Amino acid sequence: MTNFKNSLPGVPSVEHPLFARIFDESIDPETRRVAFELATKGYAVLDFPDQDFDSMAESIKQTLHGHYDLEGWRDHGHKAGISLRVQDAWEFDDNVKRIACNEKLLAMLSQLYGRQAWPFQTLNFPVGTQQHFHTDSIHFSSSPERFMCGVWVAMEDIDASNGPLMYFPGSHRWPIYTNEHIGKCIAELEGTKSQAIYESMWRDLVEAHDAQPDYFHAKKGQALIWAANLMHGGTKQLDPSRTRWSQVTHYFFDDCAYYTPMMSDPFYGSIAFRALTNIVTGEHVPNRVAGYEIPESFIEATSPGQTNWHEARAFDPQLYLLANPDVAAAGVDPEQHYLQHGKSEKRRLRP
């Protein structure tokens, strides 16, 4: 990359409108190949860059085997579409951490995205996820957007019968749709929040784009890098007697704000900022905007469930009674009623 001055530093290099100038012939061929595939398809396959991978994979299997109820999964969990996983096994398994912190992979990801990469989460699976296709952008996102990627690595050979990954090539270029786009205010939704509220929209998008799935029949030691907004999922595991050992590591990049869009309503005063640890250093990573650290007071004030912006205005008992004639008719103290009942009932403070 010769004399290139990036006028859009808030866009990942692999999704940059000036891609050809960034990944010119001065870049090594393997990095250019991976960059081109990420840019065009939203994913790229490579061999995991550690000669000891096979021995690490076998050690991880032995260490984690007792953490899963494989017998129960085969009896009933498989039919129910349940996924078995251990999150953040890097905290107690050195080989899981070693895979997540691979220096060659980190160097490549940093070059691909134009900012320093760091791992923040690991997931280890003994069987297929059987997960509805989705985009990680509602779960792990950043501002500027798209500075997140996942790396999945196969710990055994995977074919059509033991639950290969599936993805829709090119879907990473679709817009990122969050709560406001599907007409939801998550703060006001009752019950458990899950990605199910997005699934009909995702199916409609796939149909509208006439998107055709691709499947990753991986060999042991092959890795898949995928972009934040790539639509992907886990296929049905046709043979529940088999295993499908794999590890996913999620990566963010420096100088961003990190949050969960699915749990956020920014213009309703609620942002689910993430408190994250860099697995490489073990240190907390602050949320930043253009190099400036976001004040902790703002993060606390916008924490979901902690703020009721209706209360930011002074409570006026007369206006409360006008807005709630049943309370006025009952002849009860308006402020006491609001504190005991009206707040939880989300009653209006003003007509």
**Cα separation of 5 and 147, whole Å?**
19
Q: Which residues face 222 on adjacent strands?
A: 47
Question: Is residue 148 located within the same domain as residue 63?
Answer: yes
Which uninterrupted H or E stretch holds 46?
strand 43-47
* pLDDT score of 185: 93
| Helix ranges, the chain (H) | 19-22, 29-41, 53-64, 70-72, 94-100, 103-113, 196-208, 296-301, 317-323, 325-330, 334-337
DSSP string for residues in 207-233: HHTT---EEE-PPTTEEEEEETT--EE
- Domain with residue 183: its CATH number is 2.60.120.620
Nearest by Cα to 37 from 55, 25, 54, 19: 19
2 in a structural domain: no
Question: Is residue 186 located within the same domain as residue 250?
Answer: yes
47 in a structural domain: yes
* pLDDT score of 34: 98
* pLDDT score of 310: 45
* pLDDT score of 351: 84
28, burial (CB in 10 Å: exposed 0-12, middle 13-18, buried 19+): exposed
Q: Which two structure tokens, joined as six digits, stand for 113?
A: 């995205």
* pLDDT score of 306: 61
4 in a structural domain: no
Which residue stretches of the chain have pLDDT < 50? 309-312
Question: Is residue 235 located within the same domain as residue 200?
Answer: yes
Which residues are CB-neighbours of 306 under 8 A, at least 6 positions away? 300
Question: Is residue 236 located within the same domain as residue 317?
Answer: no
207, burial (CB in 10 Å: exposed 0-12, middle 13-18, buried 19+): exposed
Question: Is residue 242 located within the same domain as residue 333?
Answer: no
Number of domains in the chain: 2
Question: Is residue 73 located within the same domain as residue 179?
Answer: yes
Question: Is residue 275 located within the same domain as residue 331?
Answer: no
Question: Is residue 61 located within the same domain as residue 196?
Answer: yes
Question: Is residue 248 located within the same domain as residue 116?
Answer: yes
97 in a structural domain: yes
207 in a structural domain: yes
Structural domain boundaries, residue 319: 309-342
Question: Is residue 22 located within the same domain as residue 140?
Answer: yes
Q: Which two structure tokens, joined as six digits, stand for 177?
A: 């749709």
Q: In the Cβ-directed half-sphere of 340, how many Cα atoms lie within 13 Å?
A: 7
Question: Is residue 116 located within the same domain as residue 241?
Answer: yes
* pLDDT score of 192: 85
